[in-house]
């Protein structure tokens, strides 16, 4: 009987690739997509082509920084509708194969398959996506979702790579613990403070120590992550976001606390209107503040009870805002609602 596998498909430089398809003259040029396409304005990079990445440009970077690193790059505005349409074509192509397809975003999906030759099937999937959409992809092959997702990093660009329990430590053991999917910069820094620098170090770490430092659930989870353990199934159930938010980048810094309060109120009111249409009750509001030049912090406030009431949402947003010290200019504000699960 054919063995079960998980494939993880990730479209290579997806947003930039869609733009190049629309403008073939951009082929081979550094392309940066973000904001309204004007690098003299505030905004962040949504994606950068491989040519742009050679200049150190990456997603989440301020557009002005990207422009400073490569003034000759082509800067383009975000066109969400075009990317969504291309993504839908890719996902429809994946569903033509005998697989459970779990959409994980515009540019990635997990596939649950059974095969004696998973790499060969991965190549056929790559070819089908390329033929029908003209987009290149990379595919990780694994015995669970974590290993398949991690394998994709080694497959890029345009490749296929297998990562299982058999070769996990041979491939991952010497790498920084922060390279693991799910470990962010802050957690990596805390691990480093404990003398845990590599994936192998984390796998050998004392679980009680991890639980004491990171909590009774997160500590053991970190160790399981280092060993590549993951028992989550691939599912084709429609994805339901855990929250919804609104944010705005200001071309001129906000310095007056009263003005910042008014802007957060306005964002919360707009968000509340969208939440009313969505109908899902909210349990927590999170406010995001990006201070000049580029330091970002968040604080959240729970609702007394699950609700979509605009006044309750605004009140929670303002309570969260009170947790900040507004002693520096503000360049971005955001309000996010977290749904009841």
Residues annotated as catalytic (active site), given as ranges: 108
From residue 90, alpha-carbon distances to 178, 200, 235 in Å are 30, 36, 17
One-letter-per-residue 3-state SS of 271-293: HHHHHHHHCCCEEEEEEEEEECC
- CB-based burial label for 303 (10 Å; 0-12, 13-18, 19+): buried
Q: Which two tokens stand for residue 16?
A: 């930039």
* DSSP assignments along 81-144, one per residue: HHHHHHHHHHHHHHTTSSSEEEEEETTEEEEEEEES-HHHHHHHHHHHHHHHH---EEEEEESS
Lookup result for tokens 């515009």: 106
From residue 12, alpha-carbon distances to 54, 131, 331 in Å are 15, 15, 31
From residue 182, alpha-carbon distances to 27, 139, 177, 235, 263 in Å are 33, 19, 10, 20, 32
Q: How many angstroms separate the CA atoms of 206 and 222, rounded?
A: 11
């Amino acid at each position: 009987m054919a063995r079960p596998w998980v494939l993880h498909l990730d479209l290579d430089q997806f947003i930039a690739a869609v733009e190049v398809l629309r403008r073939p003259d951009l082929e081979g040029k550094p392309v940066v997509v973000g904001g309204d396409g004007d690098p003299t304005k505030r905004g962040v990079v949504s994606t950068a082509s491989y040519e742009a990445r050679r200049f150190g440009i990456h997603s989440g970077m301020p557009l002005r920084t990207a422009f400073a690193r490569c003034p000759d790059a082509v800067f383009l505005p975000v066109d969400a509708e075009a990317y969504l349409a291309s993504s839908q074509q890719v996902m429809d192509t994946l569903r033509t194969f005998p697989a459970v397809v779990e959409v994980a975003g515009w540019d990635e999906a997990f596939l649950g398959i059974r095969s004696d030759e998973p790499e060969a099937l991965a190549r056929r999937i790559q070819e089908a996506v390329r033929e029908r959409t003209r987009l290149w992809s990379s595919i990780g092959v694994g015995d669970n979702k974590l290993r398949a997702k991690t394998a994709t990093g080694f497959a890029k660009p345009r490749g296929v790579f297998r990562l299982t329990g058999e070769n996990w430590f041979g491939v991952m053991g010497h790498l920084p613990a922060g390279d693991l999917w799910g470990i962010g910069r802050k957690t990596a820094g805390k691990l480093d403070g404990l003398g845990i620098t590599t994936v192998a170090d984390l796998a050998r770490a004392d679980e009680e120590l991890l639980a004491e430092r990171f909590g009774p659930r997160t500590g053991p989870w970190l160790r399981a992550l280092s060993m590549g353990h993951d028992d989550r199934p691939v599912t084709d159930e429609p994805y339901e976001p855990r929250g919804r938010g609104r944010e705005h980048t200001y071309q001129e810094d906000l310095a007056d606390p009263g003005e910042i309060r008014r802007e957060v109120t306005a964002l919360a009111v707009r968000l509340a209107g969208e939440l009313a249409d969505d109908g899902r009750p909210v349990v927590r509001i999170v406010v995001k503040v990006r201070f000049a030049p580029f330091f970002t912090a968040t604080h959240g406030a729970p609702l007394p009870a699950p609700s979509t009431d605009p006044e309750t949402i605004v009140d929670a947003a303002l309570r969260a805002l009170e947790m900040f010290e507004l002693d520096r200019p503000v360049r971005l504000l955001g309000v996010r609602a977290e749904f009841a699960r």
